Structure formats: structure tokens, C-alpha cells
Amino acid sequence: MKILFHDFHVVDAFTDITGDVFVDGESIVDVIPESEPRRQFAADIVLEGGGRLVLTSGFVDMHAHFREPPPRQYGGHGPCEKETLEAASLAAARGGYTSVVCMANTNPPIDNAEAASAIKFMADALGIIKLYPAVSLSEKMNGKKLSPYLAEKKPVDKPADTSIYGHSYGHYSYSPYRPPLVSEDGKDIENDELFTAAIRAAAEHNAVVSCHCDLDGEDAAVERAVKLGGGAGGIHIAHISTKGAADIVRKHKKTQALTAEATPHHISLTKYDADNAGAGTFGKVAPPLRGETDRLAVIEALRDGAIDVIATDHAPHTLEDKQNGAPGFSGLETAFAVCNTVLVKENNFSMQKLFSLMSAAPARILGLNGCGSVTKGNHADIVILDTERENVINSSLFASRGKNTLFSGRKFLGVVMLTLCGGRITYQSSF
């Protein structure tokens, strides 16, 4: 399909112009500033931005939980009632996300390339987003020995199993999947030797190691991860929430390969919000919501580059599970509105900085070539935004099965109008 986006405010980490963007199939064919003569394109669809609507590169989420376990031949048991691949993918598209890494802590965990490949195949068949399943650091996430994937000295290219939930999909073919990120998210590997071995093995597989740092407290766990990772190939610190952790990362990233992320809820909410909702139930998240000093420190770390990425840590739960203390919030469908309001409107971040945090930086860290910017020749992964439109969050309308959020009923600025993934319209609201 050929689509012409006419008279849009085109903004990404590297560009800030008004002009036209022409998409043909899966690629961005041209980006034309308004200062240049308008060109004629044989477009199937023409969308008008009125010089006001923002066009940017599709968002990239390094950290989300999609819940659906590996297929049955890998010990799985079918879709999880908390979430499905389809529901999470639709939620991502509604949030402006075109590329998402989903964590390995399903039941059972994703600890081998075959299981990850099968999940990716199912997501690719849906055609809603580009999904990159993570693989765990340890086998069955038990912290005792390397996962089967990382235990391979060199990745072995072998045919992926295309039999999914008992149905044959042999008429499809795809290359063996190599995850761009590995993680034991939800826990730390307590054994230093195993943790270091996992970091080194991940480097051989060209995979980023995302570290959940909670052992003996966040600051101590970040210090430990940075120390061990510095000599083993570099790491990525997940969901930083304290001033101390941000300071540690800022100090060490000058001398070693180190990146970090923060979540929309940790830059916008505090312990006060958690307590009001129920600190042990609906307000519970890991790491927990902190005080105002920590919240502001994380924002400043995003501003000065100590923290590189905004990641949602999308964690859908059933109502019963939240009542029983399951940690986490659904975040894919609220991330842009929250970040636009808190960072751009309240803390004077530029839109270019915001889109670096939400798109360009995570694409670069993950090695997703052709993603992260609105550039001629790049993938046609695009999101259209109304950055000034009021957005009152209504979790009952979420595409995600998880309605657990502290943002429901709150007003923000910023609405996702359209998401284009690989040249396909995967979400569209009314212009």
C-alpha cells in the first residue's frame, strides 16, 4: 500500500520539520520538507496533518510482559488468562509501539531459542507489531545454570519448529530467531559466577543483558550488577526508580558499556499514589513507587542521558491477582500520554528528546536496523500523534486484558491517532 502523509510535523531524535512522508509497502520512500516543491505521488491513501499533527517513528519498548507461554511442545499450556499475544499486540499498537521485547518469565519460562522462535512466529502471523521474545539467563529461570540458549558456544542455525498448538504451519518459513535481549526479569541471579558467565555468553550471542536489580535493595543490586557487568561485556539496567541507582549509572557509564531505562509510572507517580490505591494490592509494582525526590531524580537522569530509554514494563494482571498482591501495571496504552505530559509539558523536554527515549535509543541498543527514525529507506514504522489533545485514561477500554493501572480517570495530554507497522495500519483513531 502507498500512503502519503501530507503536511505533518515530522519529528524524531534527528529531525524536526514540517513536510510530507511517502510510504510504499514496508519502506519509507521519501521525506520532503515543506521548503521543497511539493511532489506528486500515486498514493492509495492520503492523510492530512494540517501542519499540526506529529509524525514520528514507531515506539520501541525494551521491556514488556506478554504473558503467553511457549507452545505445548515446550511445556506451555495455552494462552494465559492475564494476557494473550493478540491482546498485548493490539495494546502496543494502540500505544504507538511497533517493536516490543517481551520478557521470558512466562510459565514455563522461555529459556531456549526454539521456544522463543515459536512465540515470535505466532506474533509475526498476527501482523500487528514486531515482537522480539527475550530468553532467560538461566535454565527454567532457577538461577542454577545457564539457559540452554546461552549455553550454546555459538548459535546454531537450525529449522524452527512450525507446529504450533498442534496445528501445522509448515507452508511458512522463517529464519532462526536470535533474541536481541536476554533477561532474568523479575529476579536477580544471586550467584556472581553464574551471572558473570551469563553476561559473557550473551556478548557472544550479540544480545543485550537486561538486569532486574532488587537483591538487597535496588541501589546495592545496581552497584553489584554494574561491577560484575563491567568486566564481562556490559549490561542494561531495567526500570531504575531511585536517585541512588541513577547516580550509580551516571558515574559508571562514562567508563563502561552501560545503558538504563525508566518507566512512565516511576516518573509520574509516587509512594503516595501507591498507598492511596493500596500499597500491597493495586498500587504494588516492582520496583515500588518511590518518594518525590527519587521521582525527580529519575527525570533528571533521563534529561542528562544517565538513563537512555523509556520502557513500559507492561505487566497485565487479572483483578483477582492484583487483589492478591501481584506487582505491576499495564502500561503500553498510557505510556505516550504520560511521558508527553510529564516530560515535555511539565519538565520542558523537547519532543526530539522524548522520541529519542521512546524510539531511537531503544532501537539502537537492541540493534534494530531501519528502526528509530523517520528516514528515507527505513522501515515504514510510523506513529501519528496529537500532542495537544486531552486524554482521559479509561482502562475499561484497554485492548490489553490487564486493566490494572493507577492512571484510570486521570487527564493527560497526547493521543495516538494512527500506528503503521511495516506499512500496515495496525491502529487508527479518528483524525
Range of 159-163, 211-215, 394-398 with top mean pLDDT? 394-398
pLDDT at 41: 83
Domain annotation covers residue 375: no
pLDDT score, position 266: 98
| Known catalytic residue at 313 | yes
Q: Is 178 helix (H, G, I), strand (E, B) or coil?
A: coil
Q: Which domain holds residue 221?
A: 59-366
Judge contact between 206 and 231, C-beta under 8 A. Answer: no
Residue 256 in grid coordinates: 563502561
| Cα–Cα dist 421/127, whole Å | 8
Structural domain contains residue 373: no
128 and 250 within one domain:
yes
pLDDT value, residue 154: 60
From 366, 397, 416, give the residue that closes a domain.
366
Q: How confident is the model at residue 173, as a pLDDT?
A: 40
Are residues 299 and 270 in contact, defined by beta-carbon separation less than 8 angstroms?
A: no
**157 and 45 within one domain:** no
Same-domain pairing of 52 and 65: no
**φ/ψ (deg, to 5) at 219:** -65, -45
Q: How far from 328 is each of 32, 188, 257, 405, 415, CA to CA, in Å?
A: 42, 17, 28, 8, 23
pLDDT digits (tens, 9 = 90+) for 250-268: 999 989 899 999 999 999 9
CB 250 within 8 A of CB 275: no
Last residue of a domain, one of 314, 341, 366: 366
Q: Is residue 374 part of a domain?
A: no
Residues 50 and 65 in one domain: no
- Which cell is 244 given? 541512588
Q: Tell me: do 69 and 98 sit in the same domain.
A: yes
Query: Where are any strands of DSSP class E within 157-257?
Result: 163-164, 167-168, 181-183, 208-211, 235-237
Instruction: Check which CATH number belongs to the domain holding 405 and give it.
Output: 2.30.40.10
Same domain, 335 and 359: yes
Whether residues 89 and 66 fall in one domain: yes
Yes or no: say if 68 and 83 are a contact pair by the CB < 8 Å rule. yes
pLDDT reading at 83 higher than 70: yes
Instruction: Please report the pLDDT score of residue 73 as a whole number.
Output: 78
Strand 27-33 versus strand 309-310 pairing type: unpaired
Let me know if residue 371 belongs to a domain. no
509510572: which residue's cell? 265
**Residue 234 sits in the same domain as residue 153:** yes
Nine-digit cell at 128? 500487528
Q: Using CA atoms, how far apart are residues 5 and 428, in angstroms rounded to an integer? A: 14
| CATH number reported for the structural domain that contains residue 346 in this entry | 3.20.20.140
Residue the block writes with cell 519509507: 28
Q: Closest by alpha carbon to 148, among 173, 176, 119, 182?
A: 182
DSSP letter at 395? G
Do 212 and 310 share a domain, yes or no? yes
Catalytically annotated residue among 24, 188, 214, 313: 313
Measured CA to CA in angstroms, residue 411 lies from 204, 276, 336 at distances of 46, 18, 13
Instruction: Collect contacts of 324-327 with beta carbons under 8 A, ≥24 apart.
Output: 324/281, 325/280, 325/281, 325/284, 326/284, 327/284, 327/285, 327/286
Query: Per the domain annotation, does 376 fall within a domain?
Result: no
| Same domain? 32 vs 132 | no
Domain count of the chain?
A: 2
CA distance 104 to 112: 10
**Residue 372 included in any domain:** no
Assess whether 22 and 126 both reside in one domain. no
Question: pLDDT tens-digit profile of 277-315?
Answer: 999 999 999 999 999 999 999 999 999 999 999 999 999
CB atoms within 10 A of CB 127: 12
Mean pLDDT for the stretch of residues 206-224: 94
Same domain, 51 and 63: no
Per-residue model confidence as pLDDT tens digits over 136-158: 999 999 999 999 999 987 655 55
